[in-house]
Amino acid sequence: MAEPKTKYDRQLRIWGEQGQAALEKASICLLNCGPTGSETLKNLVLGGIGSITVVDGSKVENGDLGNNYMVMFTVSESSLGQSKAKCVCAYLQELNDAVKAKFIEEHPLTLIETNPSFFSQFTLVIATQLVEDSMVKLDRICRNANVMLIFARSYGLSGFVRTSVKEHTVIESKPDHFLDDLRLNNPWPELKRLTENIDFDTSDPVAHKHIPYILILVKMAEDWAKAHGGRLPSTRDEKREFKELLKTKTIAMDEDNYKEAIEASFKVFAPRGISSNLKRILDDPCSEVESGSSDFWVMVAALKEFIANEGGGEAPLEGSIPDMTSSTELYINLQKLYQAKAEADYLAVEKRVRDILKNVGRDSYSISKAVIKSFCKNARKLTVCRFKLIEEEFNSPILPEMQKYLTDEEYSAMDDDISRLKTTAVSLLSDLGCNGSTLTEDLINEMCRYGAAELHAVAAYIGGVASQEVIKLITKQFVPMTGTFIFNGIDHKSQLLSL
């Protein structure tokens, strides 16, 4: 066996040791181990999930040997009739022997109806290929047990993934693009003093071209504010004028630091204070904490107090600076300055967290320093996701009419299916205010032709998306999809339908 740090090296670089530890503690339950469910679980087993329980009461059939790789590699034609859950579980165990794996030969629908408490033992449930009734019931069960739930289904050349959780809070949201926290237009006293000690008019060309662009922009922003009644550039013309002013400060063509300052000047124009998203979180009713509040909301309450007091309207400083043209001495001094400010902010927030915990009757040290430090570093990027019950989506006035067509047992031929599906789809589009005549005959024919089959290529894709969402929920890193993800394999397109 490889050492965990070697074995999971690549993913550790993405979600770190804390994220990996969360995965290794997680307990996952899979309902139905057809191609979609098996592919979802395969990705999680390879990633080092703690334990898996496969629930499926069906037996291996001829069709499984052609569309489910987890079965193909563990049974032969002579083994038809074996437990499908057992075969899939055996294959998954071979992929990673560090994962605890077990199977239950039971139909998921039976468990949902007769033993709802069964699901409370898991961190997360992955429910695949369930019908509407069972989805609604399982959703209620998992909500009441505070168990995360992901629905996934592949249907011929289409499929969907849907997450259902009461509330999901994210500290390390890791957005693709986010403005560096440099406080160029709102420097704290130590950064101001460092800037004041720099000779920006030095005649020494070497010294001049090694002034970090952070200090250049802090100085220029301050000079602009003094000349414009304390305000910063806001209009397009003013921003252009600010950049032109920067260009006049260069004394040579090869001054990369001033080029960097011009390119980064947009960071000066960012508004001071906190974002509207963070304000919504601070104003959320959950920020009024009590003994049963989650660690996240306790830290939000502390953050709210910090911003109103020590922070002076700002969130804790992140403490990191980007690479830039600079003398080694100035860069190190600047780096230490940002790190010291971030540490001071963290200590102030930590003290408030400890006080709040004590006030609500909890252990003052029940939230670790590492968690509080991560919270402070990512305070500007906090995210709270809330998901509707699946029942709310199904409670539509047009659904009964659709269900009447879909459950009418008098129809069985494909031609009749095509006619019924088209009638239902056109009616649905009309009720939604869309033009039903734009629906092509080919699309209707294709939907009926593949008749609920789980094609392995589509199942693998849907399984990949579902497992990605599982990892987001368990590691509490990155922001999960807050809607129903639809994949259209006919046109190779996907769509996220927002809740």
Per the structure, the complete domain to which residue 441 belongs is given by: 408-449
Judge if 260 and 283 occupy the same domain: no
One domain, residues 63 and 200: no
Number of domains in the chain: 4
Residue 318 counted as domain residue: yes
pLDDT (tens place) for every residue of the chain, 499 residues total: 556 678 888 898 899 988 999 999 999 999 999 999 999 999 999 999 999 999 999 998 877 777 777 776 665 555 678 899 998 998 899 999 999 999 999 999 999 999 999 999 999 999 999 999 999 999 999 999 999 999 999 988 899 999 999 999 999 999 988 899 999 999 999 999 999 999 999 989 999 999 999 999 999 999 999 999 989 999 999 999 999 999 999 888 889 999 999 999 999 998 889 999 999 999 999 999 999 999 999 999 999 999 999 999 999 999 999 999 999 999 999 999 999 999 999 999 999 999 999 999 999 999 999 999 999 999 999 999 999 898 887 775 555 544 554 444 443 446 678 888 888 888 888 887 777 667 777 778 877 776 667 888 999 999 999 999 999 999 999 999 998 999 988 888 899 987 5
Integer Cα distance of 23 and 124 in angstroms: 11
User: Domain check: are 477 and 352 in the same one?
Assistant: no
The answer to whether the CB of 183 falls within 8 A of the CB of 195 is no
State the CB neighbour count (10 A cutoff) for residue 282: 18
Q: What's phi and psi for 188, nearest 5 deg?
A: -85, 165
Q: What is the pTM of this model?
A: 0.83
Q: What number of other Cβ atoms are within 10 A of residue 118's Cβ?
A: 18
List the Cα angle 208/211/214 in 5-degree steps: 145
Q: Is residue 35 within 8 Å of residue 460, measured between CB atoms? A: yes
Cβ–Cβ < 8 Å for 489, 180: no
Per the CB < 8 A criterion, the answer to whether 47 and 11 are in contact is yes
- Shared domain for 254 and 281, answered yes or no, is no
Residues 468 and 422 in one domain: no
Structure tokens at 136: 């609604």
93 assigned to some structural domain: yes
In-domain check, residue 105: yes
Domain co-membership, 465 together with 477: yes
For residues 271 and 380, give the distance between their C-alpha atoms in angstroms, rounded to a whole number.
Answer: 13
User: Cα torsion at 85, 51, 172, 372 (round to 10°)?
Assistant: 160
Is residue 177 one of the residues assigned to a domain? no
* 9 and 124 share one domain: yes
Query: Last residue of a domain, which of 245, 267, 289?
Result: 267
Q: Which of 220, 236, 267 is at the close of a domain?
A: 267
